[in-house]
Amino acid sequence: MPSLAKYLSDVPDMDEKTSEWLQLLVGDWALLSDLLRADLVLWVRIPAGALAVAHCRPSTGATVYYEDPVGIEADPEEKPLVRAVLDGEEPYFEPAVVMREGQEALRQLAPVRHEGQTIGVLTIEAPVPAGEPSRNETRQHELGERLLRMMGEGAYPIAGAPIPPRRGAPRVGDGIVELDAQGVMIWGSPNALSAFHRFGVAGDMTGSTLAELTTELLQTRAPVDESLPLVLMGRAAWRSDMQARGGTLSLRAIPLTAGGKRDGAIILVRDVSELRRRERELITKEATIREVHHRVKNNLQTVAALLRLQSRRMKSDEARDALAEAQRRVATIALVHESMLQGSEEAVFFDEVIERCLRLAVDAASATVHREGADVTDPHQVEVRTQRVGKVGSVRPEEATPLALVVTELATNAVEHGLSETGGTLTIRAERTGSHLVIHIEDDGAGMKSAQPTGLGTNIAQTLVQGELGGTLDWENRPEGGTRATIDVYLDPVSVDAANA
């Protein structure tokens, strides 16, 4: 289904300010839907009549729509009423009985105004009640109608009042409190009263200033959000957390106005003690995991240094080369752990690992080569250039280590056997579509001719690709000269949060 922005962009004469205001309304109209316990449908003007561009269902009551009524034009019965409100006539606040998908529903119409102009119409539709509404439902409905009147005055949604995107945002069903203009509590829902009582507020709260009731309970040593007093008094449309006695309440204030003057406020409240506790545990866990990766990286680097020192003491070239290869592999594993320090415990940004693997492969491959841009220690050394094409993206840690080892082994082989005498370019090309990953390690050297590569490094790479990654590893001669090794694997998916961390 197209987005609201797409629908609005297709409406003739819809300017940017009007579109932004309607999107701001839709971003916060769940509050209105929950208070009225009704479906909301937003209509805008089109040459043929009116078009439904957005729909919201309540979380506090039953819906009257099984399918979203979005993208449809008003039917002949609805169109005159909607167009009349769009043309500036008085809103139809009196409920009328209509049929919705075979069931009776009560419908109201309310204008959406901005800068003195009617830019849309809301239809508020709820099931016909089976009995008398409770006191709680009645008070919530009254607050919802006050927001409808604010919307008709262009005062709702509240411009310039962004809601911080933090988990645990309170909704009407979590708890709601009504304040007067001085911040005195007029009424509170049962869930809200229970949340404050668990927080430590004792006795009847009605008739008392909410800020005074809660200030004494705040932890004096804990930092307090600067916006908290304004939220508790209902003077600012904002969100804030309040912490005391090991408990945490998430509060959101919506000032109520009439004729441009503030005459009260709605406070949404939710007990987020358990949610914040889990967040603190996750932060502690993440810090611990990062410390473990840091120590593992340091230990591996120490092992690599010891192997390098030991190789220098070897008199046998074969033993020296074997220790050098072991040192390079240990250093490659250390690179993965270092990358985990910069990302998250659930994802490794593998393109950064590839860059380091390339440098490591060239620097450790042979004494006859030097990396492009590096200091030349021997005038007889040949230069090896490196380049990376395409992106691998995020990889799970359990797959990053074998993949890094394979890339390093293949890159080292390409330098040692293809470029050590002539120099040239070492290229890594990555192609990823979803979980499917193909990596080409190419050189423009002499090529392998008819002989397939052999040796310990080749066997290690083949074993890791087939056994650890469940993929394939193939070699071929490039038509333009040189050798191409191709890794073809399917990776496990990485969570969105981890990939964007």
Cα torsion for 66, 67, 70, 73, to the nearest 10°?
-90
Closest CA to 352 of 344, 363, 362, 343: 343
Closest CA to 246 of 284, 276, 291, 281: 276
Please give the C-alpha separations between residue 93 and each of 90, 108, 150, in angstroms, as whole numbers: 9, 5, 14
Percentage of the chain modeled with pLDDT above 70: 81
In three-state secondary structure terms, 57 is coil
In three-state secondary structure terms, 150 is helix
CA 429, 435, 439: angle at the middle one, nearest 5? 15
With bands split at pLDDT 50, 70 and 90, how would you rate the model's confidence at 112? Answer: very high
Taking 70 as the threshold, does the pLDDT of residue 18 lie above it? yes
Read off the pTM.
0.61
Closest CA to 407 of 424, 429, 431: 429
Taking 70 as the threshold, does the pLDDT of residue 378 lie above it? no
Task: Give the C-alpha separation, 486 to 442, whole Å.
Answer: 9
Find the mean pLDDT for residues 187-200.
Answer: 89
Find the mean pLDDT for residues 186-215.
Answer: 87
Span 124-149, pLDDT tens digits:
999 998 888 889 999 999 999 999 99
Most confident of the ranges 198-212, 289-303, 355-369: 198-212
With bands split at pLDDT 50, 70 and 90, how would you rate the model's confidence at 497? Answer: very low
Neighbour-count burial of 12, counting CB atoms closer than 10 A to its CB (0-12 exposed, 13-18 middle, 19+ buried):
exposed
Higher pLDDT, 471 or 275: 471
Find the mean pLDDT for residues 261-272.
Answer: 91
> Mind listing the domains of the chain with CATH numbers?
4-152 (3.30.450.280), 176-271 (3.30.450.20), 276-499 (3.30.565.10)
Taking 90 as the threshold, does the pLDDT of residue 223 lie above it? no
pLDDT of residue 124: 94
Find the mean pLDDT for residues 488-498.
Answer: 68
Find the mean pLDDT for residues 81-94.
Answer: 79
Backbone angles phi, psi at 264, to 5 degrees: 160, -170
Beta strand residue intervals within 293-423, DSSP E:
348-349, 369-371, 382-389, 394-395
Task: Give the C-alpha separation, 254 to 151, whole Å.
Answer: 13
pLDDT of residue 294: 65
Closest CA to 268 of 226, 218, 219, 210: 210
